[in-house]
Amino acid sequence: MKIAFTTILPGEGFVRLSGHELYAPLEEAEVLVSTFDKPVTREMIQSAPKLKLVTNFGVGFNNIDLDACRERGIRVTNTPQPVIEPTAELAFALMHDVARRTAEFDRKLRAGQAEPFGVMNNLSHSLYGKTLGIIGMGRIGQALARRAIAAGMSIIYHNRRPLGDEAMRRLGVFGVNNNLDNISPQHSTAINCLPRLEDEINNTTRHHGVVRYVSKEELLKEADFVSLNLPYTPEVRHLIGAAELEMMKSSAYLINTARGAHVDEEALVEALKAGEIAGAAMDVYEHEPKIHPELLKLDNVVLSPHTGTGTWEGRIAMCEIVCDNILAFVNNEIDKMNIVL
């Protein structure tokens, strides 16, 4: 089988495909290994008459013209598993960074502009006891929730539907409790993250360690941190705009490690300058690779160059899954593939 690549990837990552011709011309390729940063256009697909499979190196697949693949009956796969933990790690790190002002203090120290040690100097905000609002409670959102629970945070989330019992158990939390204040039994499930007695939960911890499902509007109004962890579709473009930013607390932070188009960056810049929210931490941008110039000037913004999945461990695992998808396709083991289309 002849395999083409949109990006030259190291051959040693694909040793399991020995016996197949790697880096074949697109015109001769039966398989195309695409990467999340390169588009697979209708024109490319039309120029590959033998193409049977597009296997994407990444969880997202909005870089691929799915309609063109569908018309030709071309299979499309992705590599969702390796991105979960690294992206959740980065989201948590960015949240911690912007709240504790780590990057800001680093810049000021290097520039000789840091305040001296003092009782009321260099203050920041703790994560402990705060509420994290997660929009998009899929696998990445749940991985972030586990980390936040361990840090002593409460979780509210908005999703297409509430999590089931099994997903709640996977969060690593304990017990079910429906007696906490402000929890609607129709729309919320509350669970405490440590095996405490019910009266201790109600009287002492209050809402710390609670996970509950809420509307998007409730989430924006209540959360101390709002994290976006949902895939991109045209329907969620500018999910966070001027109206949503106005709903957030003035002490709240926005975290985006999902897709840049989720946020109206012009509205975000205005909200940050006006003090409508306390800060933002971003790994993705509306017009990548360009970053809004005003974001680069603000101390209360932490920026990362789209590195959510960028770990050695993650990349190696992606290579392995791409190989698995190709080999399963060759062996007609469709049930073993990560099928998108």
Active-site annotation holds for 187: no
Q: What is the DSSP string of 263-287?
A: B-HHHHHHHHHHTSSSEEEES--TT
pLDDT band at 172 (very low <50, low <70, confident <90, very high): low
Out of 115, 288, 313, 333, which one is annotated catalytic? 288
Is 178 a residue whose pLDDT tops 50?
A: no
pLDDT tens, position by position, 190-212: 444 444 434 443 433 444 458 99
160 assigned to active site:
no
Catalytic residue among 100, 125, 170, 306: 306
Which pLDDT band holds residue 332 (cuts at 50, 70, 90)?
very high
Per-residue tokens: 91: 């989201």
Q: Do 269 and 295 contact (CB within 8 A), yes or no?
A: yes
Q: For each of the domains in the chain, give its residue range(s) and CATH number, in order of start.
A: 2-78+311-336 (3.40.50.720), 84-303 (3.40.50.720)
Name the active-site residue from 259, 262, 292, 315: 259
pLDDT at residue 174 greater than cutoff 60: no
- Is the separation of the CB atoms in 213 and 126 below 8 Å? no
pLDDT, tens digit, 9 for 90 and up, residues 225-265: 999 999 888 899 999 999 999 999 999 999 999 999 999 99
106, 140, 134: which is closest to 308 by C-alpha? 140
pLDDT higher for 166 or 138? 138
pLDDT for position 113 = 92
Question: Which of 258, 181, 188, 244 has its CA nearest to residue 216?
Answer: 244
pLDDT of residue 159: 95
Residue 278 in this model has a pLDDT that exceeds 80? yes
Q: How far apart are CA 94 and CA 180, in angstroms?
A: 30
288 is catalytic: yes
Kindly report the pTM of this predicted structure. Answer: 0.83
Instruction: Tell me what percent of the residues of the chain surpass a pLDDT of 90.
Output: 72
Mean pLDDT of the chain: 87
- Grade residue 17 by pLDDT with cuts at 50, 70 and 90: confident
